[in-house]
């Protein structure tokens, strides 16, 4: 019955069991680091409560907070643009780059740019758009998409990077030492930074009280990028708004600890005024977020701060890989975001969850990820066969007569799922009906007693 897109892709992925185990261990290691760091903070659970409450507040007060942000950003000297959808986002950026005669463009990692498919659009305009986060750069040069929102190249082996860099950057054949390769990319991308006409970042937070945009990275790629050219662009979804710097105190304590198991990212940069002699453009993007806000059962999805923690902990993601999901964001939050963006296309992902609830407990902003998947399942069904099975179960298990008769005629040892015409796959034997004799005897004795 495994006929969803996810289960088919997962079945293929699972064939390379050494790689599956390696991915699982790698991601579990990150979850472990997150556990250790979170346990060093006695007030961790209060921080999560505060983050959740702050997001619920800001997302339910977006009109006034966005107005406040725009007024402050404008007073700081930035130029604010509004994009209702992906197309407008792309055309604003394309327009800015064209107007400034930009040929070489560097960008730091932004899931919004993936969502809005920016890079292919710019390449069509004849603009070189270089991803500067090392993982994103590897993925870009390989012609792939990120398989994880924080660790985009987590599925790529060092040997693959070695071969890629040998071709693209002229590194020594066969050398796949991560330090060597990272420093080769450092030199290679340094040229891109120095030659860039414009730089773009996403945003981790946009602060209404100050009109500033906060960007968190470990590599310093956003910082290198934005410190050189005369045009800087920052684009973010409306859900990135936080009310004030006081709330940044909460989010900056949670973000890196949950994402990568570090106390804070190396660089937490606050951009508000344009650098001397340059322009700073800010693009505020909706692209479906206001629709999520109107969805009473799922608006809490907007609490997400894109830390990737739910992916690292998800036992299904860790064993099926980012590409097995049909949405560009995989894992628990991706299952939910996909349903908001195009349910018909992404409903197959709903099956990729055991409802173990680990994601909901890792989430620093307390998005009720598992409960949301449960609710989506009530509206959208991943496959037609599942309905038949559910009906079969209701029929057999739901009638006292059927259940009793079924159990009394089923011979001890008969396989349970065969009774429903199901297969449980290779590597796992089906449970067998047990003899009811002893239980029936006990129940009869109990009745006689009364």
Partner 1 sequence: MKAALFIPCYVRAVAPQVIEASYKLLRHLGVDVVIPEGQTCCGQPMGNAGYEDEAEALKEHFVSLFKDYDVIVGPSSSCVSFVREHYPAALEGRVWEICEFIHDVLKPEALPGSFPHKVSLHNSCHATRLMGMAAPSELNIPYFNKLKDLLGLIDGIDLVEPERPDECCGFGGLFSVEESGVSIKMGQDKVRRHLETGAEYIAAADSSCLMHQGGIISAKKLPLKTIHIIEILACGLNEEK
Partner 2 sequence: MSSKETIMAALRSAGAQAYEKPDLSALKQGSIHYEDKLEQFRAAVTASGGKVADYEGADLETLFSGEKDLVVVEGVFGVAENGCVWLNEPVGRPRVDYFIHEALAIVLDRNEIVDNMHEAYARLGEKNEGYGIFISGPSKTADIEQSLVFGAHGSRMVAILLK
Residue 394 partner contact from partner 1, partner 2, none using kind-dependent CB cut-offs of 5 to 8 Å: partner 1
- The 36-75 site mask, x for binding partner 1 (CB under 8 A), equals --xx-xx-xx------------------------------
**151 touches partner 2 by CB under 8 A:** yes
Pairing mode, strands 231-237 and 128-131: unpaired
Residues 250-269 that bind partner 2 (CB under 8 A): 250, 252-253, 260, 262-269
CB 225 within 8 A of CB 201: yes
Closest CB to partner 2 among 179 and 378? 179
Q: Of the candidates 206, 238, 359, 367, which one interacts with partner 2 according to CB under 8 A? A: 238
Toward partner 2, which CB reaches closer, 108 or 358? 108
Report the residue from 247, 312, 349, 358 that binds partner 2 according to the rule CB under 8 A. 247
Q: Is 313 in the site for partner 1 (CB under 8 A)?
A: yes
Reading the block at residue 280, the tokens are 């700073």
Residues 129/223, Cβ–Cβ less than 8 Å: no
- Say whether residue 350 binds partner 1 (CB under 8 A): yes
Does the protein bind partner 2 through residue 237 (CB under 8 A)? no
Told to check if 361 binds partner 2 by CB under 8 A, we report no
The C-alpha angle with vertex 59 and arms to 53 and 65, in degrees rounded to 5, equals: 110
Minimum CB–partner distance for residue 14 and partner 1 (Å): 5
Contacts to partner 2 from residues 6-35, by CB under 8 A = 26, 29-30
Among partner 2, partner 1, none, residue 272 binds (CB under 5-8 Å by kind) = partner 2
H or E, element range at 386: helix 384-397
Q: What string marks each residue from 47 to 86 as x (binds partner 2 by CB under 8 A) or -? A: x--x--xx-xx-xxxxx--x-----x---x-----xxx--
Q: Please name the residue that has the structure tokens 């429903």.
A: 420
One DSSP character per residue, 125-177 reads: TT-EEEE-SHHHHHHHHHT---SSSSSTTTT--HHHHHHHHHHHH-PPTT---
Q: Return the structure tokens found at 114.
A: 């993936």
Question: Which of residues 59 and 372 has its CB atom nearest to partner 2 in the complex?
Answer: 59
Give the residue, chosen from 71, 194, 264, 403, that forms a contact with partner 1 under the rule CB under 8 A.
Answer: 403
DSSP readout, 37-101? Answer: HHHT-TTHHHHHHHHHHHHHHHHTTHHHHHHHHHHHHHHHT-EEEEESSHHHHHHHHHHHHHHTT
């Amino acid at each position: 019955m495994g006929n969803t897109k996810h289960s088919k892709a997962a079945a293929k992925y699972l064939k390379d069991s050494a790689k599956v185990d390696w991915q699982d261990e790698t991601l579990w290691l990150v979850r472990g680091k997150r556990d250790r760091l979170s346990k060093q903070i006695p007030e961790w659970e209060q921080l999560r409560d505060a983050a959740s409450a702050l997001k619920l507040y800001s997302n339910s007060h977006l009109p006034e907070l966005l107005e406040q942000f725009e007024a402050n950003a404008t007073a700081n000297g930035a130029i604010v643009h509004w994009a209702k959808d992906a197309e407008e986002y792309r055309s604003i950026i394309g327009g800015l780059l064209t107007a400034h005669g930009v040929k070489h463009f560097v960008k730091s990692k932004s899931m919004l740019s993936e969502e809005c498919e920016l890079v292919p659009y710019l390449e069509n305009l004849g603009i070189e758009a270089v991803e500067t986060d090392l993982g994103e750069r590897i993925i870009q040069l390989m012609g792939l998409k990120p398989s994880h929102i924080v660790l985009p190249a987590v599925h790529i082996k060092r040997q693959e990077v070695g071969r890629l860099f040998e071709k693209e950057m002229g590194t020594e054949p066969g050398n796949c030492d991560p330090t060597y390769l990272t420093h080769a990319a450092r030199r290679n991308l340094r040229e891109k930074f120095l030659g860039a006409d414009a730089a773009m970042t996403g945003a981790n937070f946009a602060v209404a009280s100050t009109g500033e945009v906060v960007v968190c990275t470990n590599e310093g790629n956003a910082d290198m990028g934005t410190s050189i050219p005369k045009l800087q662009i920052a684009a973010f979804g409306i859900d990135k708004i936080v009310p004030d710097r006081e709330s940044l105190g909460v989010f900056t304590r949670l973000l890196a600890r949950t994402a990568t198991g570090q106390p804070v990212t190396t660089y937490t940069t606050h951009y508000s005024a344009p650098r001397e002699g340059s322009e700073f453009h800010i693009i505020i993007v909706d692209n479906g977020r206001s629709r999520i806000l109107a969805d009473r059962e799922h608006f809490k999805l907007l609490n997400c701060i894109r830390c990737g923690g739910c992916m690292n902990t998800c036992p299904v993601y860790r064993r099926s890989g980012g590409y097995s999901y049909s949405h560009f964001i995989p894992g628990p939050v991706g299952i939910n975001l996909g349903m908001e963006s195009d349910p018909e296309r992404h409903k197959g992902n709903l099956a990729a969850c055991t409802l173990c609830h680990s994601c909901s407990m890792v989430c620093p902003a307390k998005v009720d990820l598992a409960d949301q998947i449960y609710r989506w399942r009530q509206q959208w069904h991943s496959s037609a066969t599942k309905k038949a099975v559910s009906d079969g179960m209701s029929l057999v298990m739901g009638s006292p007569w059927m259940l009793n008769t079924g159990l009394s005629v089923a011979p001890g040892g008969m396989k349970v799922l065969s009774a429903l015409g199901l297969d449980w796959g290779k590597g796992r034997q089906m449970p067998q009906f047990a003899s009811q004799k002893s239980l029936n005897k006990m129940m009869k004795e109990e009745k006689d007693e009364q």
